[in-house]
A and B are shown apart, each in its own frame.
Chain A
């Protein structure tokens, strides 16, 4: 699975959009980009995933560049409850037992 690079920390004002970047320059054609988050030492929570098209769900939007070497997770109206560590992970669908390889993630602090 390809490696990912994320900034270690970011701040965001409450009510504003939070844009979390992720670089995955060695991603293969059949690898998906997944985002999970972990709130205060709880178990991680799935947010969204995509292959090459932009995706949106009730939690967030995922923008993947045309060359697929980077992506951005967007939380459109961040709240204090969005303060968490956000992990960007690339993997080949649900093959290989659906394993996830976590990096160190980005610690997002949403401030009032």
Chain B
């Protein structure tokens, strides 16, 4: 049981390049999330998904696209990277239902630098 895994762990991009970050979870969770964290800041929600085939915008969605084609995977795409997207990206997942005890499980993060 690996929990939440992220690929790659590190990446350096040039301005204008594109890339996709992959998040995978093996806990059969319905909900998945992408956050970014800038130095000295808390996490900010980019996009999230409440089930396979559905996605929704979070606090800071501009410049990013996501897809949830399979329940266990959540992809984050940068179509044309900008230096402002230099950040650490965290993926998370959680179970569905109305119970309040649905904590989010986080991956180890992807450190992205855009030059």
* Chain A interface residues toward B at CB < 8 A: 32, 34, 36, 41-46, 49, 51, 87, 93-95, 97-105
Contact = CB atoms under 8 A, between A and B. Distances in A.
26 contacts: A41-B88, A43-B4, A43-B90, A43-B107, A43-B108, A43-B109, A44-B43, A44-B92, A46-B104, A49-B103, A51-B100, A93-B100, A94-B96, A94-B98, A94-B99, A94-B100, A95-B98, A97-B49, A97-B50, A98-B94, A98-B96, A99-B33, A100-B45, A101-B45, A101-B59, A104-B41
Nearest to A93: B100
Q: Which of B42, B45, B101 has the most chain A CB within a 10 Å cutoff?
A: B42
Contacts of B99: 93-94
Interface size grouping (class) on chain B: 35 or more
Contacts of A43: 4, 90, 92, 106-109
A104 B107 CA distance: 20
A78 B106 CA distance: 23
A53 to B, nearest CB: 12
B74 interface: no
Given A43-B108, A44-B43, A104-B41, 4 more contacts: A93-B98, A94-B95, A94-B96, A101-B45
If over half of A's interface residues share one DSSP class (helix, strand or loop), that class is named, otherwise mixed; here it is loop
A104 B106 contact: no
Contacts of B33: 99-100
